Structure 1
Amino acid sequence: MANFSKSQVPQFSVEVYQNEFLPEGGREVSAIVTVTSTGGGTTGGAPLAGASGSPAGIPAPANGAAVVIMVDCSGSMEYPPTKMRNARDATAAAVETLRDGTEFAVISGTHLASEVYPGGGRLAVADSGTREQAKRSLRRLNPGGGTAIGTWLRLADRLLAGSAGDIRHGILLTDGRNEHETPEDLRAALTEVSGRFTCDARGVGTDWEVKEVTGIAAALLGTADIVADPAGLAADFTSMMEKAMGKEVADVALRLWTPVGVEIKFVKQVAPAVAELTGRRTEAGPRAGDYPTGSWGDESRDYHVCVQVPEAGIGQEMLAARASLIIPAPGGGTPQVLSQGLIRAVWTEDMAASTSINPQVAHYTGQAELAQAIQQGLDARKMGDFDAATARLGRAVQLAAASGNEDTAKLLSKVVDVVDAATGTVRLKARVAEADEMTLETRSTKTVRVKRQSRTP
């Protein structure tokens, strides 16, 4: 990827929220690293122009974009018959949202993957003519066959590899389980295409596997969600495409440099959703590693960084880590640093200072626990361990109430009867709609942001 001039790149800022004070013998340092990008694209929601125009109010991406839409056309999409029609309408809405000049393609996915538009192993360039051609070609989206999502992802990767654009994105829709390839096949495909494009994944109806869809989105740094009613697909696809059109910078990495003796315990995104990044580190020179963050438009995200420092005496202080936002240079050259912040450690005998928990760190620790409690509770419920399910979902209700995560609290209330939110006292509902349970599981990692405090100087 080429370096960009400042005029081409949104302005990035990095803020570090932490309590840098440690007691004698203290070794663990936690910080919330808030990254904000401004002055580039938009994250969507702009009104559309006419059929021959691009979304109004959204500036064209500085470095080009390419999008591949993967539509499940397996036999199950025939039931009910409106599902396939809704999928065609949603794809047409997404195509209509493409900005002029964006490269794009549409794939039909079954146990095989086939090009619906434009064909010939290439991408089309969006304008009024190609958008209309693409929408006419959607009549070829017909149900029949199995489901092998890895083949869809590999075809999307081959098509996107032909793009000169920096923003490479996929939108994937499925309505069923990935039954015509092994889990190992899908994991191998995700490993193969990871880092080559980002992908939003959607499950329509209730016959798909939540962990498959969320796993795809997590591996490819995209979003996952449920569209329980197929009638909602068009609005969801339009929103996804608007956000894709708002991306301005691709392949941004969070680079952490640590001094000798400092170990990184974990790195995770904690807002707008929890996403584990620790195992995705790539080495970037002595004591430095890069963690992928994907593509950026106008937006802000929070990351929880936890490091272990060597023991030190009262009054000593050290730089525990340096967090930088970078764009890798082609051929392993010097990356472009967009912004950076410092994580510090100071040893003190002031017990009040060293035992205080930074509000941002405390909040997001709770949000990560909330996501985990929901997953554990739902898994226990499925296994028939109702005592464990009640305990874990009760804890989730308590955490959601304490943090003000009203959306998650509402989803939890469809699975449990809340007796006392403050204490986490709940009763499992005897009957739960499958769509409600799947929605809670799919959206369990979505977090609410903490009210900002003054940044630690």
Structure 2
Amino acid sequence: MTEDMSSRTRPSHPAVRLHVDLDGDLRPHRSAKIEAHLRVEVAADRAPNDLPAVELAVIIAVDVAEANRAAVRHALPAALRALPDGISFAVLGGGPEPVRFHPRDAGTWAVADRDQRRRAAFAVGSLPLHRDGPRPAGYAPWAAEARALLTDRPLSVPHLVLITDGSSAAGETRLDEELDACAGKFTCDVFAVGADWPPDPLLAIAERLHGTAQFVDEGLGRAVTDAIARLRRAGPARLEIEVTLRPSVRQVSLTEKTPRPHRLVGLPAADRPHCWTFPTHQWEQGRRDYLLTLVAGADDDPLETDLQFAMVSVDGAHVPVVARWHLPRPSAPPGPTGGGSVRSLDATARMRGALREGLTALQAHRPDTARECLAQAARLAARFGTDWVLDEIRTVADVEDAAEGRIRLRTVAAGTLGPMILRAGSHPGAPVADGAGAPPGPRCGACRNPAGGEARHCIACGKKLL
């Protein structure tokens, strides 16, 4: 019986440190939202050496049309020749359905050595690619084939490298369903080549399978090699963030904000009431920032008393989430609360979202929406000093005053927008600043009422927040 990623043995984890920041002053309400900035650090001083290559099983799937063979002709052999000794690997090509190309025998894997690398690099010169006629119905068949292959190779780090030009994406049907089946079974990095691929499904794959999605114009072979090297550097390839809740907490969610924004899927513990686990993958030394959101009621809790609403645990490290209910003030409207770094997390997420939404609107020829969203992204980027966001905006618009959000759209080639949308959704972000120096949270421009959490409209007057 094969095992999934959660049950495979791993070397001991390096030291893990936790820090939580939140505004601990709450007002009783039927469903108050508590937001906390959770920082998880893997100590650099105890980071392990590279994981042995024998612990990795990697599939390289080439979803490329015959007309674009030049995009992979030299890069793919180069990536195969650079595989480390001992790694298990397989190569998939494309026909009406994904097909195993190397090794060809069902149920077998290649284990990299000098002879295997040479044979694989030579063989991919005749790799089957899409031609005129039936093509795989979207990316779901590629994920399903990878899941089936990796089930037969239960190693510590199973990974899919998907190289695509979008040639099978037009018939996308059941991607969400297949990603649900694959989540936790393996991770995936997506490399887009050419100029005719939709970015949204690629970002969905990278987010659900804890990887990255990026456009590669040149240097595809090096990008694949770097992705495999990153897998080996990942100390604890999987860490579970465990959240044990106070009974009055009705909902819990956890969203990674940096380095790669995505929402984690929580799993209830079968034998522990009020306990949820959130699996994470591809850890390296350094830190990650998360937004922990709890929805709690005050019906049975005492007022003016410190209460522990949750305990967060990661690999033997624990940190409590503590706040208190204050006596109600009629003049204070109920709303989400959070510390300075929580507001920083939210603002960073809004910046990324506005950038992505603006670029998508520009691609769809909706200039008014694009202008509004990119202006919001520029204001937030100026506030946080996020140069890469401003650089992206300057590619499609003249930025007259970033702090004021004054921009003027330019005519741009449609082919440039897809890579930018990928970067907006998958570009690694800088660590969030500590709460002490975080910028103030957003306020309504009409009534100046403070807004919190992931608010889009003012809770007092209903105006849309900028």
- Pair in the same fold by TM > 0.5: yes
Describe how 1:89-100 pairs up with structure 2 within 5 A.
89-100=74-85
Amino acid at match of 2:24: E
Give me the TM-score of the superposition, normalised by structure 1: 0.82
- State the aligned residue count: 414
Q: Deviation of residue 96 (structure 1)?
A: 3.7
Correspondence 1:226 to 2:215? yes
Amino acid at match of 1:28: K
Correspondence 1:443 to 2:423? yes
Q: Secondary structure at the match of 1:381?
A: helix
Task: For residues 283-336 of structure 1, give each alpha carbon's deviation from its aligned partner in whole angstroms, at most 9, with x where no partner exists.
Answer: 1131112223123233421110111233356521111111222xxxxxxxxxxx
Describe how 1:314-393 pairs up with structure 2 within 5 A.
314-325=303-314, 337-347=315-325, 358-393=339-374
Could you say which residue in structure 2 is the equivalent of 1:51? none
Inter-partner Cα distance in structure 2 for 1:109 and 1:341: 48
Could you say which residue in structure 2 is the equivalent of 1:75? 66
Asked if the contact 1:166–1:249 (Cα under 8 Å) also holds between the matched residues in 2, the reply is no
Inter-partner Cα distance in structure 2 for 1:379 and 1:127: 44
Inter-partner Cα distance in structure 1 for 2:148 and 2:235: 22
Task: For residues 343-383 of structure 1, give each alpha carbon's deviation from its aligned partner in whole angstroms, at most 9, with x where no partner exists.
Answer: 111345899xx999533212110111112212332343344
Correspondence 1:140 to 2:121? no
Could you say which residue in structure 2 is the equivalent of 1:422? 403
Structure 2 unmatched ranges of 5 or more: 1-5, 330-334, 438-466
Asked if the contact 2:32–2:336 (Cα under 8 Å) also holds between the matched residues in 1, the reply is no
Q: Secondary structure at the match of 1:213?
A: helix
Asked if the contact 2:287–2:431 (Cα under 8 Å) also holds between the matched residues in 1, the reply is no
Could you say which residue in structure 2 is the equivalent of 1:131? 117
Q: Secondary structure at the match of 1:448?
A: coil
Inter-partner Cα distance in structure 1 for 2:337 and 2:141: 51
| Change in CA separation of 1:452 and 1:93 when aligned onto 2, cut-off 3 Å | farther
| Change in CA separation of 1:371 and 1:125 when aligned onto 2, cut-off 3 Å | same
Could you say which residue in structure 2 is the equivalent of 1:333? none
Higher mean displacement: 20-29 or 305-314: 20-29
Q: Deviation of residue 60 (structure 1)?
A: 3.1
Q: Secondary structure at the match of 1:413?
A: helix
Paired-residue identity, %: 26
Amino acid at match of 2:89: F
Amino acid at match of 1:19: D
Q: Deviation of residue 106 (structure 1)?
A: 1.2
| Change in CA separation of 1:24 and 1:76 when aligned onto 2, cut-off 3 Å | same
Could you say which residue in structure 2 is the equivalent of 1:274? 261
Higher mean displacement: 156-165 or 18-27: 18-27
Describe how 1:6-405 pairs up with structure 2 within 5 A.
8-23=12-27, 27-38=32-43, 59-61=50-52, 64-78=55-69, 82-85=70-73, 89-121=74-106, 122-145=108-131, 146-148=135-137, 149-179=139-169, 181-184=171-174, 186-227=175-216, 229=217, 231-264=218-251, 266-277=253-264, 280-284=265-269, 285-311=272-298, 314-325=303-314, 337-347=315-325, 358-405=339-386
Inter-partner Cα distance in structure 2 for 1:13 and 1:130: 42
Q: Deviation of residue 147 (structure 1)?
A: 4.3
Inter-partner Cα distance in structure 1 for 2:338 and 2:142: 46
Q: Secondary structure at the match of 1:206?
A: coil
Q: Deviation of residue 203 (structure 1)?
A: 1.0
Amino acid at match of 2:373: R
Give me the TM-score of the superposition, normalised by structure 2: 0.80
Correspondence 1:434 to 2:419? no
Task: For residues 143-189 of structure 1, give each alpha carbon's deviation from its aligned partner in whole angstroms, at most 9, with x where no partner exists.
Answer: 433344322222222221122311111110101243464422x3333
| Change in CA separation of 1:297 and 1:165 when aligned onto 2, cut-off 3 Å | farther
Amino acid at match of 2:25: F
Inter-partner Cα distance in structure 2 for 1:199 and 1:65: 13
Asked if the contact 2:188–2:206 (Cα under 8 Å) also holds between the matched residues in 1, the reply is yes
Q: Deviation of residue 36 (structure 1)?
A: 2.1
Could you say which residue in structure 2 is the equivalent of 1:411? 392
Higher mean displacement: 59-68 or 193-202: 59-68
Inter-partner Cα distance in structure 2 for 1:355 and 1:287: 22
Q: Deviation of residue 191 (structure 1)?
A: 2.6
| Change in CA separation of 1:437 and 1:383 when aligned onto 2, cut-off 3 Å | closer
Inter-partner Cα distance in structure 2 for 1:355 and 1:137: 58
Inter-partner Cα distance in structure 2 for 1:144 and 1:27: 53
RMSD (CA atoms): 2.9
Q: Deviation of residue 453 (structure 1)?
A: 5.4
